[in-house]
Amino acid sequence: MKPGLRHETEDCRAVSDILGRVGDKWTVLVVGFLSSGPMRFSELRRSIGGISQKMLTTTLRGLERDGFVTRTVFPSIPPRVDYELTDLGHELRVPVNALGEWARLNMARVKQARERFDNAPSEQSTPVARTAARQATR
Amino acid sequence: MKPGLRHETEDCRAVSDILGRVGDKWTVLVVGFLSSGPMRFSELRRSIGGISQKMLTTTLRGLERDGFVTRTVFPSIPPRVDYELTDLGHELRVPVNALGEWARLNMARVKQARERFDNAPSEQSTPVARTAARQATR
DNA sequence: CAGGATCCGGTTAGATACTG
DNA sequence: CAGTATCTAACCGGATCCTG
């Protein structure tokens, strides 16, 4: 995302920026789990399940940097670190949840489209047939 | 995203799925340009500016596979291919635009948070101070 | 014109081992 | 417990060349 987009508008870069954070592999999961309250590192790790501790650290650092979560260290032994959504993080969940809800409602349509595409006779159809197929999806 | 998430809820996977498509490098730009009507390949390429033809092809194929755009080939010489958002694609723009709008409105806050984080005294603060900082951001 | 095929450097993510 | 450091395999995106 470094080069290439130099001449984009401010808006586009802001969107790409946020989407870059939100669209990465784990961020949404982490934010989702944090939405119900603060959690400590290993708690998150166990809840999410498939994440490596390196990726969890990286994801949380990114979220902290962007102001979406806070990181609170308790100087106890053993050490304990709590992560919690900031107000900004909670606000972010609104549009993200909207997108999530959309995804939930429309995943069947996407799945259907994928199956149709994957079983397609690999470009044996005429352009007219293609167009007809397009109409059918409307 | 293959292993690991086996035990996630359907919802979470749907969200990650959509976000994975939407959050990639070019998808949002492409969808944005297509929102005003059908465009042909080279038209898109020129409009977007920084994209290689390989990435544009890849992005468009992904969008086509998921049912967000249609691809119509005109058997002319020289060949001509039009891409157009499906209804599903147009509907997707609603939550994506909402997220984009949120990004536009809050990019300043994110930028501030980043600057604060990047100028931080790299963990010299006490946990209490950290917590105090957290309160300050509320 | 649209896009497939190939090569290649940079980034990324996971596994593993180690530390305060 | 909550990381950091390191290594490596996989992936990704760009550039280039080629075709119907």
Q: Measure CA A92 to chain center.
A: 12
Q: Which of B133, B98, B96 is nearest to A67 (CA)?
A: B133
A19-42 pLDDT, tens per residue? 888 888 899 889 999 999 999 999
Domain ranges of chain A: 5-136
Return the CATH architecture of domain B5-136: Orthogonal Bundle (1.10)
Which pLDDT band, with edges at 50, 70 and 90, does B21 fall under?
confident
Mutate to test the interface with B, among A106, A116, A125, A135 (most CBs of B within 10 A): A106
Tell if the pTM clears 0.95, that is, is over it.
Answer: no
CA pair distance A70, A89, nearest whole angstrom: 9
> Tens of pLDDT along B62-71?
999 999 999 9
Residues within a 7 A CB radius of strand C: A 24-25, 50-55, 58, 78-79; B 4, 40-43, 45, 53-54, 57, 60-61, 71, 73, 78-81
Nearest Cα to Cα of residue A91 among B110, B62, B1, B67:
B110
B41 burial (CB, 10 Å; 0-12 / 13-18 / 19+) is middle
Counting residues of chain A whose pLDDT is more than 90, the rounded percentage is 57
Backbone angles phi, psi at A71, to 5 degrees: -125, 120
Run of H or E including B71: strand B69-74
The pLDDT of A75-86, averaged and rounded, is 95
Compute the distance between CA of residue A100 and CA of residue A114 in angstroms, rounded to an integer.
19
